[in-house]
Amino acid sequence: MEKNYHVCTGCGLLCDDIEVESENNIVNKVYTACRVGVAHMKEARRGEADFLVDNKPVDEATAISEAASILKNARNPLIFGLGTSTSETQKIAIELAKKINATLDDTSSFCLGPLAEALIQDKLKTCTLDDVRNKADVIIYWGTDPSDSHPRLLSKHSYFPRGTEKQRGWEEERTAIAIDVRKSHTAKICGNYFFQIPPKGDAEFIDAMIAGLSGKLPKTSYNYPPKKILELANILKGAKFGVMFVGRGLIYSLENLEPLFKLMEILNEKANFHLIPMVSSSNTMGFNENLFAETGYVNSVKFENGTAKHGPEYSVVESLKAKSVDAALIIGSDPLLFLPGSIAKNMLEIPVISMDHCETLTSKHSKVYINTAINGVEAGGSSIRMDRVKMSFEPVIETNHLSEEVILKKIMEAL
């Protein structure tokens, strides 16, 4: 009997081998998914859709009308979020931002955006997760703990599985290396190949690795044992298909990406190395690619009369900090929860429209809240996986909740 597989939109891996049992439009059982994926798929619930204005129930037309009125009357509205939205929704949000001269940004402006931009501009050598599974013999997890953030990365793609060119898998043909400031769950799996460095010690460690790769004596101000760095350099030089998974722990530690560019250059003079960013949300990479295709920038843009201006002053953090935005449309995100309190509190002074499939701190303090369908569970579409592979998906169950895509179209029509 042919099985019906679904795509899990719980993280940037977008695993496409998920089986689900449902009854009366409720997901009862989820097979193959990790604990993150199971929780995500089982979020689908529920009764009637919620439309709130000033935390009071209204009908759909009233909520749409109020949202459109806020955006129409704003001098400089902000549109933020979209990391879990489908590419179809993201493209409509870009058109909406152009129409109302909005500032448009997502979490990549303070996370992995510079790395995504470098990949889109072909400044770094990369590969797909399928290549990793089939070919990789040396894998580095740097400043990231996928065992917690992307639980199936090691089992489905990078370390444990047998691949077409790696039939004996992790026992004999793969070496996993963790470089981090703490002994994470992933670092424990890497065993003796865990290299613990001090916070903000990454740039020096990169310089030491480059020295080791170049046959020089590696040195760090924190006296990391040169013998261990030389041992690491020898492993990397022997890689036939190496992959570096880079997380926020490394990016936040570097002042810019130049040390990483230099390391990748040296590595590829000695071996064959690729880089994949550890994108957490299901379609952050899609937002970066879709916005780049439209404007030439991956985030932090301000539209004015059809043209896009770009700079850090148009990021969500700097826009709120400077109080330069006077209304906000938040889509699938909770900035009141994760932004610094001194900046997030400025959102309380402007009208906010929140679109989310669940109640959040931001939705509780919003002028308008529209309860949406869950992308990948209740709504279909497409997303870009963290290795830049496009994935399409159909809804798993039916719902009476509107998708983000439909809501944005209705707001556009009401403007």
Query: What is the per-residue burial (b if ≥16 Cβ within 10 Å, else e) of 174-212?
Result: bbbbbbbbeebebbebbeebbbebeeebbbbbbbbbbbb
Tell me: the pLDDT tens digits for 97-145? 999 999 999 999 999 999 999 999 999 999 999 999 999 999 999 999 9
Residues 329, 262: Cα–Cα separation, whole Å: 39
Mean pLDDT of the residues in the chain: 95
Q: How high is the pLDDT of residue 141?
A: 98
Bridge-based pairing of strands 242-246 and 103-105 is: unpaired
Supply the pTM of this predicted model: 0.94
Neighbours of 236 (CB within 10 A): 22
AA letter at 266: I
Tell me: the pLDDT tens digits for 276-296? 999 999 999 999 999 999 999
Q: Where are the domains of the chain?
A: 48-111+282-374+400-414, 112-277
Return the minimum-mean-pLDDT range out of 164-173, 194-203, 305-314: 164-173
CA nearest neighbour of 233 among 173, 187, 193, 277: 193
Tell me: the pLDDT tens digits for 228-252? 999 999 999 999 999 999 999 999 9
Is the per-residue pLDDT at 326 higher than 60? yes
Enter the tokens of residue 120. Answer: 């889109």
In the CATH scheme, what is the code of domain 112-277? 3.40.228.10
The verdict on domain 48-111+282-374+400-414 having CATH code 3.40.50.740 is: yes
Main-chain dihedrals φ then ψ at residue 85, nearest 5 degrees:
-80, 155
